[in-house]
C-alpha cells in the first residue's frame, strides 16, 4: 500500500506529492524540520517536538503554518492514513514559494509537508552489540540549535563513517571539543565514571531524546554533567553512547579504531537504556 503524504493542505499518495520549484526550501534550504517516532500508532513526545518546531521557526522568523491544535490533529491523521504501526514522522516547514530573491518576500505563506518514513524504531539487534563510529571536523554553522533543513555538512560527515561501514560520525571543533553526532547527541562516561554531554547551546541541536534522558537522570539522582569533552576524553572514555529519536540510546564500542571499555555496551548505558524504554512504554500507553 502506498504511503500517504501531506502536501499543499491535503493528504495524497506520496508518489503524487509535488512541491513548487521555487519553494525557498528547495532553492535556499530556507526552512526547518522535525522528526518524531510513532509506536503502536502513538506519536512519542508530541508536545516536545511541537515546542522545538515552534522555537526553530521563531528563530528564523517563519510563522507557524497552522495553529498547534490543528497540527496535532493532522499528525494523528497522517498516522491513521498510513498502513504502519510504527516508524518516523518527517515534518518540514519552509518559508514558502516566490521568485528567487534573498530577502524575505513581503507576503509569503509557509509551506508545510509531512510524510512517514518506514524505518524500524530502536531495534535491539544493534544495541545489544553496540556500533562503531569515527570523529571528524565539525563543518557546520554557528546556529546548530535550529533544526535547519540545510544539512550538507551533516550528510558529508555522515558519509565518512558510512563508507567505513560504521554507524555515526562525531563532530569536533578546532580545539578538539566534541559537539554531537551528524544526527545524534553524544554522551560519555568519563575516566572518573561521570556521565557527560555537551551543554545545550548554539553548538548542538537540543535533541528530544537527550532532554528526556537528562530529565530521567536528574529524577534518579544519577551523577551527570552538561560539560563539553574533547576527542581525547572520548578516546579515553569508559562508555560512549549516542541518542536520537529513531535509535533511543545506542552504545558505541569502537571510536576511531580504539575499543571503548571492554568492547561491549557499558553498564551505565544499559541502565539508562532501560530507564528510557520505560519512558517510551509510558508514552505509548498514555
Ligand X SMILES: Cc1ncc(COP(=O)(O)O)c(C=O)c1O
Identity of the residue, 184 or 261, whose beta carbon is nearer to ligand X in the bound complex = 184
Beta 87-94 vs 31-39: how paired, if at all?
A: antiparallel
CB of 2 to ligand X, least distance (A): 26
Q: Which CB sits closer to ligand X, 38 or 96?
A: 38
The smaller minimum CB distance to ligand X, of residues 86 and 185, is found at 185
- In whole angstroms, the minimum distance from the beta carbon of 45 to ligand X comes to 8
Q: Which stretch binds ligand X (CB under 6 A): 12-20, 24-32, 86-94, 208-216?
A: 208-216
Please identify which of the residues 109, 132, 142, 147 carries the catalytic annotation: 147
Instruction: Centre a 10 Å sphere on the Cβ of residue 186 and count the other Cβ atoms it contains.
Output: 28
Asked whether position 244 contacts ligand X by CB under 6 A, the answer is yes
Total chain residues near ligand X (CB under 6 A)? 13
240 binds ligand X (CB under 6 A): no
C-alpha 168/C-alpha 188 separation (Å) is 15
Contact set for ligand X, span 217-236 (CB under 6 A): none
* From candidates 32, 78, 131, 205, binder to ligand X by CB under 6 A: 205
**Least distance from ligand X to the Cβ atom of residue 205, Å:** 4
Least distance from ligand X to the Cβ atom of residue 183, Å = 4
Q: Which residue has the cell 545545550?
A: 200
Label each residue of 166-196 as H, E or C.
Answer: CCEEEEECCCCEEEEECCCEEEEECCCCCEE
Question: Residue from 78, 116, 178, 208 that binds ligand X (CB under 6 A)?
Answer: 208
Grid cell, residue 87, equals: 516508524
Measured from the CB atom, the residue of 46 and 180 that comes closer to ligand X is: 180
Stretch near ligand X under the rule CB under 6 A, chosen from 155-163, 241-249, 250-258, 271-279: 241-249
Residues 43-62 contacting ligand X, CB under 6 A = none
Pick out residues in 148-187 that bind ligand X (CB under 6 A): 180, 183-185
The answer to whether 242 and 183 have CB atoms below 8 angstroms apart is no
Start-to-end C-alpha separation, the chain: 28
Catalytic (active site) residue 258: no
Rule CB under 6 A: which residues touch ligand X? Answer: 35, 180, 183-185, 205, 207-210, 243-245
Q: Could you give the residue numbers annotated as active site?
A: 147
Amino acid at each position: 500500500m502506498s504511503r500517504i503524504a501531506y502536501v499543499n493542505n491535503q493528504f495524497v499518495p506520496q508518489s503524487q506529492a509535488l512541491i513548487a520549484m521555487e519553494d525557498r526550501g528547495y532553492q535556499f534550504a530556507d526552512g526547518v524540520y522535525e522528526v518524531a517516532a510513532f509506536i503502536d500508532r502513538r506519536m512519542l513526545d508530541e508536545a516536545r517536538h511541537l515546542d522545538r518546531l515552534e522555537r526553530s521557526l521563531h528563530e528564523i522568523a517563519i510563522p507557524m503554518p497552522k495553529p498547534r491544535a490543528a497540527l496535532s490533529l493532522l499528525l494523528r491523521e497522517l498516522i491513521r492514513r498510513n498502513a504502519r504501526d510504527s516508524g518516523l514522522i518527517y515534518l518540514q516547514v519552509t518559508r514558502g514559494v516566490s521568485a528567487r530573491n534573498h530577502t524575505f518576500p513581503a507576503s509569503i505563506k509557509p509551506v508545510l509537508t509531512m510524510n512517514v518514513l518506514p524505518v524500524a524504531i530502536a531495534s535491539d539487534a544493534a544495541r545489544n552489540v553496540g556500533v562503531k563510529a569515527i570523529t571528524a571536523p565539525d563543518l557546520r554553522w554557528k546556529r546548530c540549535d535550529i533544526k535547519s533543513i540545510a544539512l550538507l555538512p551533516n550528510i558529508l560527515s555522515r558519509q565518512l563513517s558510512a563508507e567505513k561501514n560504521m554507524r555515526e560520525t562525531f563532530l569536533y571543533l578546532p580545539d578538539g571539543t566534541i559537539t554531537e553526532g551528524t544526527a545524534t547527541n553524544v554522551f560519555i562516561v568519563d575516566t572518573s565514571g561521570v556521565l557527560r554531554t555537551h551543554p545545550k547551546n548554539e553548538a548542538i541541536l537540543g535533541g528530544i531524546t537527550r532532554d528526556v534522558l537528562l530529565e530521567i537522570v536528574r529524577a534518579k539522582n544519577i551523577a551527570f554533567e552538561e560539560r563539553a569533552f574533547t576527542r581525547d576524553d572520548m578516546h579515553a572514555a569508559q562508555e560512549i553512547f549516542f541518542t536520537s529519536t529513531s535509535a533511543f540510546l545506542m552504545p558505541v564500542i569502537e571510536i576511531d579504531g580504539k575499543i571503548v571499555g571492554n568492547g561491549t555496551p557499558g553498564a551505565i548505558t544499559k541502565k539508562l537504556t532501560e530507564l528510557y524504554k520505560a519512558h517510551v512504554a509510558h508514552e505509548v500507553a498514555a
